Amino acid sequence: MSDPIIAFEDVSFTYAGSETPALSNIDLAISEGEYVAILGLNGAGKTTLGLCVNGVVPHMLGGELTGEVRVAGLNVADYAVREMAKVVGIVFDNPEFQMSQLTVAEEVALGMENTGVSYAEMRRVIPEVLAQVGLAGFEERTPLGLSGGQQQRLAIAAVLAMKPRVLVLDEPTSNLDPVGKQDVFEIAERLNREQGMTVIIAEHEVEVVARYADRIVVLDQGRVVLNGPPKDVLSQVERLTELHLRPPQATRIAELLRDEHHLWDGPLPVLAEDAATGIEAILGRSA
Ligand SMILES: Nc1ncnc2c1ncn2[C@@H]1O[C@H](COP(=O)(O)OP(=O)(O)OP(=O)(O)O)[C@@H](O)[C@H]1O
Ligand SMILES: [Mg+2]
């Protein structure tokens, strides 16, 4: 197998002034083109993990970092956040806070200006990335006048302008309505599938994660406690319950059919359509 694009090797991090580590002994390798979802309760370390990938930890948020984080072969501790931004784009949960410019075009151009991209190149890239997020023609609009969903798509466009190989989405839909959420998930899925972009998403919606992710990493108190394909991780109902995480509805239904009604055998599904197929088989048996 080729070298992972992201490698955490025995990484621990404690924020300055804090007693307890935000991340403890993280070993995690992510291959280029993987779509990895991070699950975990508030304070589990999801954001801190993402900030290690783009170098904000340890360069801008101080604390004690041990172990090594390598992204695209670069030891993050040795490169400025500005350099890492060419490889890793990050989008946070509150789109409004990420907007700082008067026009959409300027918002997209900001990162490129900081890294010395030519004006001609910017003129070419801006409409291209706006089109990718469904905001074609929005160049002269005011970011603060956009809907939350549009702002979040603009934040993604601004990151795409830097042509990153890795996209980190930190609960990108938690402030959006259902349509806005769906738009963001579809964009992430398309970037992953069509452009092979590596996607890391911290996300609470297990149904979404079950459908899109290649792999799920569950964090608990700064440690990786589960790590595997959605069908393996999300079907561990008891373990998830211990961790105070909710399994997908499809999994719960199959579990009830198994435990309460003795009607389900075999592995528990994580997708609704797989639960439906199983239920169809049960109905066929009883007919
Ligand atoms: N800037 C900071 N300074 C000090 N401690 C912090 C800082 N940011 C986070 N922490 C602490 O680090 C731990 C991990 O926090 P982190 O924000 O990474 O968790 P999270 O999984 O993203 O949580 P949430 O779901 O609430 O976003 C928590 O104990 C938190 O209190
Ligand atoms: Mg967070």
Ligand 1 centroid–CA 153 distance in Å is 25
Q: To test the ligand 1 pocket, which listed residue (47, 203, 205) has its Cβ within 8 A of the most ligand atoms? A: 47
CA–centroid distance, 45 to ligand 1, in Å, is: 6
Q: What is the pLDDT of residues 271-284, one digit of tens each?
A: 999 999 999 999 99
pLDDT averaged over every residue in the chain: 95
Q: Which has the higher per-residue pLDDT, 82 or 6?
A: 6
Give the pLDDT score at 38.
Answer: 98
Average pLDDT over residues 106-125: 94
Nearest CA to ligand 1 atom 12: 22
Q: What length does the chain have?
A: 287
The per-residue pLDDT for range 11-69, each reduced to its tens digit, is 999 999 999 999 999 999 999 999 999 999 999 999 999 999 999 999 999 899 999 99
Averaged over 223-247, what is the pLDDT?
97
Provide the edge-to-edge strand list for the sheet that holds 166-170.
88-91, 166-170, 198-202, 35-39, 215-220, 223-228
Question: With bands split at pLDDT 50, 70 and 90, how would you rate the model's confidence at 1?
Answer: low
Question: What pLDDT does 287 receive?
Answer: 66
Name which of 6, 15, 193 is nearest 84 in CA terms.
6
Query: If you average pLDDT over residues 260-280, what whole number do you get?
Result: 95
Peptide bond into 230 cis (omega under 30): no
In whole angstroms, what separates CA 136 from the centre of its chain? 24
Helix (H) or strand (E) holding 237: helix 237-242
Take atom 7 of ligand 1 and give the residue whose Cα is closest.
15
Indicate whether 93 pLDDT > 80. Answer: yes
Ligand 1 atom 5 nearest Cα = 15
pTM of the entire structure? Answer: 0.95
Q: What lines the ligand 1 site, CB under 6 Å?
A: 15, 18, 22, 40, 42-48, 61
Smallest CA-to-CA distance from 265 within 252, 280, 278, 250 is with: 278
Q: What pLDDT, on the 0 to 100 scale, is given for residue 226?
A: 98
What mean pLDDT is predicted for residues 190-215?
Answer: 96
d(CA 133, CA 93): 17
